[in-house]
């Protein structure tokens, strides 16, 4: 069973001082990985991670995740290999196919078909692997929901990531998959691995450390109205309860699904910290 790892994906742009403070706070709170997203209106991933490396000592640094369609694959491989060199090998590369159509339209990049977006991701991974031919490349994180994406991830990735979302999430609303659907996707990926070892990552969408679990579940229901409070309470992507209960939930998720690496978005940076403390 793999050891726990905890990551936070930082999203809010700000001043240099604010960015440095957030990165140091994540490290001080016990996170293993500080990551950045790749969306318009957010920080530019490569310079943000370079500054994060200068501001911290221990944490790994990852892209969670780069939109392959936004980057020329050859130039992306160059930039990532340079980032890896300048951070002393602390980089972990996450790459996705892109899902926010409005961002494609805003940049003038062709949305295309799902197959075309997948092909751009394949090209990005191919160029990254070519850039590191003959030497170890940075750990690669790939993930998604469909068979094609998970099969490719099982063939190439060091970490397979599951967002735990359902169809509809790409349209701008939080649509979460049920526990059976998540378990089925994880099982599919494990079969596709064919015995190859890989770390499994899960995005936690809602976390509250509280003794009033029912009230927090009702709050979550307001954000995810297509699922009832009790249904939300059964999801591995929703963590609500005391620090002890939340830690026990993550232990069960690792035991039942094999997920050992959990990521939260910036707004939950401090909320997960007490749980990390319990699991250390």
pLDDT at 167: 78
pLDDT at 174: 73
Quick check: 18 pLDDT over 90? yes
List the single range of 3-12, 24-33, 224-233 with lowest mean pLDDT: 224-233
Q: What is the rounded (10 degree) CA torsion for 221, 223, 225, 226?
A: -110
> Domain segments of the chain: what residues?
5-206+250-279
Quick check: 209 pLDDT over 70? yes
Q: 256-272, pLDDT tens digit by residue? A: 999 999 999 999 999 99
Comparing C-alpha atoms, which of 215, 218, 204 is closest to residue 246? 204
- b/e burial code for range 82-104 (CB count within 10 A of at least 16 → b): ebbeebeebbbbbbbbbbeeebb
pLDDT at 125: 98
Q: 151-200, pLDDT tens digit by residue? A: 999 999 999 999 999 876 555 567 899 999 999 999 999 999 999 999 99
For the chain, give the percent of residues with pLDDT over 70. 98
pLDDT at 168: 65
Contact in structure between 166 and 175 (CB atoms under 8 Å):
yes
- Which CATH number does the domain 5-206+250-279 belong to among 2.30.30.140, 2.60.40.680, 3.40.50.1400, 3.20.20.30? 3.20.20.30
Q: 72-125, pLDDT tens digit by residue? A: 999 999 999 999 999 999 999 999 999 999 999 999 999 999 999 999 999 999
Q: What is the pTM of this model?
A: 0.96
Quick check: 43 pLDDT over 70? yes
Give how far Cα 230 sits from Cα of 85, 217, 233, 268, Å.
Answer: 47, 8, 5, 22
pLDDT at 68: 97
For the chain, give the percent of residues with pLDDT over 90. 93
pLDDT at 173: 62
């Amino acid at each position: 069973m793999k050891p726990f790892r905890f990551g936070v994906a930082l999203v809010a742009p700000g001043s240099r001082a604010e960015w440095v403070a957030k990165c140091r706070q994540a490290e001080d709170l016990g996170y293993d990985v500080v990551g950045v997203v790749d969306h318009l209106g957010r920080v530019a991933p490569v310079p943000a991670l370079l500054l994060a490396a200068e501001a911290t000592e221990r944490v790994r640094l990852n892209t969670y995740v780069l939109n392959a369609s936004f980057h020329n694959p050859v130039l992306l491989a160059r930039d990532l290999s340079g980032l890896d060199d300048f951070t002393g090998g602390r980089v972990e590369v996450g790459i996705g196919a892109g899902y926010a159509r409005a961002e494609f339209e805003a940049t003038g990049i062709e949305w295309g078909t799902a197959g075309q977006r997948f092909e751009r991701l394949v090209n990005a991974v191919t160029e990254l692997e070519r850039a590191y031919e003959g030497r170890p490349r940075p750990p690669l994180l790939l993930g998604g929901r469909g068979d094609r994406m998970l099969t490719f991830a099982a063939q190439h990735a060091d970490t397979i990531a599951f967002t735990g979302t359902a169809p509809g999430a790409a349209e701008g609303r939080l649509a979460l998959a049920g526990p059976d659907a998540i378990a089925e996707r994880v099982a599919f990926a494990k079969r596709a691995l064919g015995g190859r070892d890989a770390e499994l990552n899960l995005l936690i969408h809602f976390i509250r450390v509280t003794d009033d679990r029912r009230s927090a579940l009702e709050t979550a229901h307001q954000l995810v109205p297509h699922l009832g409070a009790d249904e939300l309470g059964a999801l591995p992507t929703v963590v609500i309860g005391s620090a002890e209960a939340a830690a026990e939930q993550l232990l069960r998720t690792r035991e039942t699904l094999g997920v050992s690496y959990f990521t939260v978005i910036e707004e939950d940076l401090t909320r997960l910290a007490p749980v990390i403390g319990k699991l250390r």
